[in-house]
């Protein structure tokens, strides 16, 4: 038996764990004493590994390269040589005929690691010649990145996961940590035990609301109005830090004007939160010696998400809750390596290390390092994954190379996404399971899984952590970056790396923010938070020390926008709001957790639609009854789940079920800046399926 130290492949909490391997098979997982998890794991950490033993519960593992030479034809098993030759040939033809910007690529925020994401964006930029590379951050915390970059200069969590328990006030908005990041939720409980005030803003009485001192049960879709009212109270009641605002921020006069109309009394009816509660929340937040704001998808998956993130940063700036330990702004990133995918430049506007693609000096630096003519590089910002369905239908995107993502399950308005896929000429899927997207591919490139390779992940608090290979792959699969390198070489750009560290050292040399994060420093249980700019630096626990912000002027930017209504509001035909949520036992498209026996027993297809009993009974719907849920875009089967913790007038569904996929119903109203869809709000109706 051997014990291999790795990092959990699910959420961004970054829990360190040991896989116990016997005779080439993983037999159990144990918690390791990592910096973020301190010897604890949630159930996904303990039971989320046995897909590696090929349990075949949900979908089969991809075991060999396959090609489908005609649309609608059958997959044909081919050799790796043939798969690489065919894929390279098709991509070259499309590039020649339609130009490099007709090809879209994705990185992956899951088990594949930072090295692979670096190689994928290098492939897009150096081999294809496009900035069309993106990842699922687009559909989750894209607005956090954009909003925080604009206000504070850096798109990541300003604080650390370990800091949370030492904060004296936690303002938790649109974030159900008990389901999304159970080990982060432990820190919230510890903060409470240490005497912190907990303020929760959420339409549901989520687990955190149960232990909260104040629960502001906001109506769905009103975040901007509430955040503006918070700012209004801080200013009107003179609770803000005048000295801090004067020294370290810009834009106060305009900001004050923009929130003037948002008195708590003015937004009471709209938000469903009493003026007294709004005032009390801000009195508590402003009085705390240290205060932290935490948020999740309940902030970011709206058509006005970037504005709300800017507003939340404004609250921290008004009260001086930045630039020291135990305070800050914490967008808690969802997937285990979504922070890393962004760090590695799997973004259409930034090279690795958050260096702009529109800066000629930066382009020249990367062109020089990669040995290509700078004129071959795309000087414009590339496409976002949420734009692809529309652009494919318009004929502007012809090929899509998708690595470790499942847009045909996870993106909003699946009917639209399917039309986009039908219009594409060539789809390559590089993955570990036959996902819904893989089923539509022209070429399948089977990759090794987490557990079968090593690398570096970045957890939600900017912490780089190494994970190790535990077992040998059983099938005819290759490491992700080996596959991409073979394709690059076949397309005329030789790419040869010996190992992960060679890739890591190349990217470190090009990214000042990461330069000091060496493999050695990350060690076995190491957790090196960027910025880590020198070999001597231990990394950075919190951003903006000395209250210097990474904005062009060095000052925090105060910003407030008027509230905008969601794009589709309930009416007589579709009287309920649908909001998509997470559940603790499964993750994302479920391709991994759905193939783990212990997790598979936790819930069953077709998933649930959570309903307030008042709404359900008005429709004559019993608890656990099969129902249909319909929006203007689709109709799915689900199972009614009475839930008194949710607000009347809204229903909640998780998005991973194949039958009852709630993204058949959601809409792609995109935030104008981040292009993130409004999957937290659309209008639906629910009805009984004939008595069973």
Q: Token match 């590379």: residue?
A: 133
44 versus 125: smaller Cβ distance to ligand SF4: 44
599 binds ligand SF4 (CB under 6 A): no
41 versus 522: smaller Cβ distance to ligand SF4: 41
Smallest separation, CB 615 to ligand SF4 (Å): 31
Distance of alpha carbon 302 from alpha carbon 203, whole angstroms:
15
Smallest separation, CB 115 to ligand SF4 (Å): 20
Give me Rg for the CA atoms of the chain: 24
Q: Which of 72, 90, 79 is nearest to 428 (CA)?
A: 90
15 versus 383: smaller Cβ distance to ligand SF4: 15
**511 CB-near residues (< 8 Å, 6+ apart):** 352, 353, 355
Smallest separation, CB 137 to ligand SF4 (Å): 17
Q: Which of 330, 354, 352, 341 is nearest to 144 (CA)?
A: 330
- Give the alpha-carbon dihedral of 84, 450, 424, 374, to 10 degrees: -70
19 versus 42: smaller Cβ distance to ligand SF4: 42
Distance of alpha carbon 330 from alpha carbon 338, whole angstroms:
15
The one among 5, 8, 477, 501 contacting ligand SF4 by CB under 6 A: 8
What count of other Cβ atoms lies within 10 Å of the Cβ of residue 268?
17
Residue 254 tokens read as 């305009």
φ, ψ of residue 688 in degrees (nearest 5): -75, 145
The one among 42, 136, 391, 592 contacting ligand SF4 by CB under 6 A: 42
8 versus 513: smaller Cβ distance to ligand SF4: 8
15 binds ligand SF4 (CB under 6 A): yes
183 versus 235: smaller Cβ distance to ligand SF4: 183
Are 316 and 322 in contact by the 8 Å Cβ rule? The answer is yes
Each residue of 191-206: b (16+ CB within 10 Å) or e?
A: bbeeebbbbbbbbbbb
10 binds ligand SF4 (CB under 6 A): yes
The one among 19, 21, 32, 45 contacting ligand SF4 by CB under 6 A: 45
13 versus 558: smaller Cβ distance to ligand SF4: 13
The one among 5, 6, 11, 414 contacting ligand SF4 by CB under 6 A: 11
121 versus 591: smaller Cβ distance to ligand SF4: 591
**Integer distance in angstroms from the first to the last C-alpha of the chain?**
50
182 versus 352: smaller Cβ distance to ligand SF4: 182
Which stretch, 42-50, 124-132, 399-407, 600-608, contacts ligand SF4 (CB under 6 A)? Answer: 42-50
The residues facing 463 across adjacent strands are: 529
Smallest separation, CB 341 to ligand SF4 (Å): 16
Q: Which of 518, 184, 470 is nearest to 330 (CA)?
A: 184
Site size toward ligand SF4 (CB under 6 A) is: 13
Are 115 and 500 in contact by the 8 Å Cβ rule? The answer is yes
Q: DSSP character for 485? A: H
426 binds ligand SF4 (CB under 6 A): no
HSE of 205, CA atoms in CB hemisphere, 13 A: 11
Which stretch, 9-17, 51-59, 95-103, 548-556, contacts ligand SF4 (CB under 6 A)? Answer: 9-17
What would the x/- binding string for ligand SF4 be over residues 130 to 169, using CB under 6 A? Answer: ----------------------------------------
What would the x/- binding string for ligand SF4 be over residues 165 to 204, using CB under 6 A? Answer: ----------------xxx---------------------
Residue 318 tokens read as 């008004």
Q: Which of 97, 16, 143 is nearest to 527 (CA)?
A: 16
Q: Token match 């249909």: residue?
A: 628
Smallest separation, CB 17 to ligand SF4 (Å): 7
**72 CB-near residues (< 8 Å, 6+ apart):** none
Q: Which of 393, 396, 401 is nearest to 419 (CA)?
A: 393
Which stretch, 11-19, 137-145, 283-291, 430-438, contacts ligand SF4 (CB under 6 A)? Answer: 11-19
103 binds ligand SF4 (CB under 6 A): no
Are 308 and 671 in contact by the 8 Å Cβ rule? The answer is no
Residue with smallest beta-carbon separation from ligand SF4: 45
8 versus 491: smaller Cβ distance to ligand SF4: 8
Smallest separation, CB 185 to ligand SF4 (Å): 8
The one among 21, 32, 35, 44 contacting ligand SF4 by CB under 6 A: 44
Are 549 and 664 in contact by the 8 Å Cβ rule? The answer is no
The one among 26, 32, 35, 41 contacting ligand SF4 by CB under 6 A: 41
Q: Which residues bind ligand SF4 (CB under 6 A)?
A: 8, 10-11, 13, 15, 37, 41-42, 44-45, 181-183
């Amino acid at each position: 038996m051997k014990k291999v130290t790795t990092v959990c492949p699910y959420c961004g909490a970054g829990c360190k764990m040991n896989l116990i391997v016997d005779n080439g098979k993983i037999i159990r997982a144990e918690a390791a004493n990592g910096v973020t998890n301190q010897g604890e794991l949630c159930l996904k950490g303990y039971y989320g590994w046995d897909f590696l033993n090929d349990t075949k519960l949900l979908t089969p593992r991809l075991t060999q390269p396959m090609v489908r030479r005609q649309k609608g034809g059958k997959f044909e098993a081919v050799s790796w040589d043939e798969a690489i030759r065919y894929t390279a040939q098709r991509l070259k033809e499309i590039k020649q005929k339609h130009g490099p910007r007709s090809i879209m690529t994705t990185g992956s925020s899951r088990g594949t690691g930072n090295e692979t994401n670096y190689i994928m964006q290098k492939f897009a930029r150096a081999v294809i010649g496009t900035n069309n590379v993106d990842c699922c951050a687009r559909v989750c915390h894209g607005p956090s990145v954009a909003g925080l970059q604009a206000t504070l200069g850096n798109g990541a969590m300003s604080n650390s996961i370990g800091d949370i328990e030492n904060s004296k006030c936690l303002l938790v908005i649109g974030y159900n940590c008990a389901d999304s990041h159970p080990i982060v939720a432990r820190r919230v409980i510890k903060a409470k035990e240490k005497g912190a005030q907990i303020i929760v803003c959420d339409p549901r009485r989520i687990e955190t609301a149960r232990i909260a001192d104040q629960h502001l049960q906001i109506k769905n879709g009103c975040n901007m109005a509430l955040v503006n009212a918070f700012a209004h109270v801080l200013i009107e009641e003179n609770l803000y830090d005048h000295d801090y605002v004067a020294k370290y921020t810009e834009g106060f006069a305009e900001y004050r004007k923009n929130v003037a109309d948002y008195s708590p009394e003015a937004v009471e009816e709209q938000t469903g939160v009493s003026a007294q509660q709004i005032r009390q929340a801000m009195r508590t937040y402003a009085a705390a010696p240290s205060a932290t704001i935490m948020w999740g998808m309940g902030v970011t998956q709206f058509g006005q998400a970037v504005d709300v993130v800017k507003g939340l940063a404004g609250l921290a700036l008004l009260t001086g809750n930045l630039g020291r330990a135990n305070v800050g702004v914490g967008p808690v990133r969802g997937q285990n390596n979504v922070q890393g995918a962004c760090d590695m430049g799997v973004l259409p506007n930034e090279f690795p290390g958050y260096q702009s693609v529109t800066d000629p000096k930066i382009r020249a630096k990367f062109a020089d390092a990669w040995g290509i003519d700078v004129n071959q590089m795309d000087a414009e910002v590339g496409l976002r994954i949420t734009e692809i369905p529309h652009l494919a239908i318009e004929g502007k995107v012809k090929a899509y190379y998708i690595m470790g993502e499942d847009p045909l399950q996870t993106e909003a308005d699946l009917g639209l996404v399917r039309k986009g896929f039908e219009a594409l000429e060539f789809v390559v899927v590089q993955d570990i399971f036959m996902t819904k997207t893989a089923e539509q591919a022209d070429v399948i490139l089977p990759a090794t899984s987490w557990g079968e390779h090593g690398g570096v992940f970045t957890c939600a608090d900017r912490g780089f952590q190494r994970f190790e290979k535990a077992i040998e792959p059983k099938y005819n699969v290759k490491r992700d970056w080996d596959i991409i390198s073979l394709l690059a070489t076949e397309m005329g750009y030789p790419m040869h790396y010996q190992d992960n560290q060679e890739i890591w050292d190349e990217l470190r040399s090009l990214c000042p923010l990461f330069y000091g994060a060496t493999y050695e420093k990350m060690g076995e249980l190491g957790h090196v938070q960027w910025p880590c700019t020198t070999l001597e630096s231990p990394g950075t626990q919190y951003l903006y020390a000395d209250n210097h912000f990474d904005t062009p002027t060095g000052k925090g930017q105060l910003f407030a926008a008027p509230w905008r209504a969601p794009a589709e509001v309930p009416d007589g035909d579709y009287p309920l709001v649908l909001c998509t949520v997470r559940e603790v036992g499964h993750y994302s498209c479920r391709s991994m957790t759905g193939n783990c026996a212990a997790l598979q027993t936790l819930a069953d297809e077709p998933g649930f639609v959570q309903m307030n009993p008042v709404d359900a009974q008005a429709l004559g719907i019993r608890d656990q009854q099969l129902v249909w849920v319909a929006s203007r875009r689709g109709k799915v089967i689900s199972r009614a789940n009475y839930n008194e913790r949710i607000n009347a007038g809204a229903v909640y569904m998780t998005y991973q079920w194949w039958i009852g996929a709630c993204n058949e119903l959601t809409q792609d109203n995109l935030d104008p800046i981040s292009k993130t869809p409004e999957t937290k709000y659309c209008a639906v109706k629910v009805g009984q399926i004939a008595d069973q």
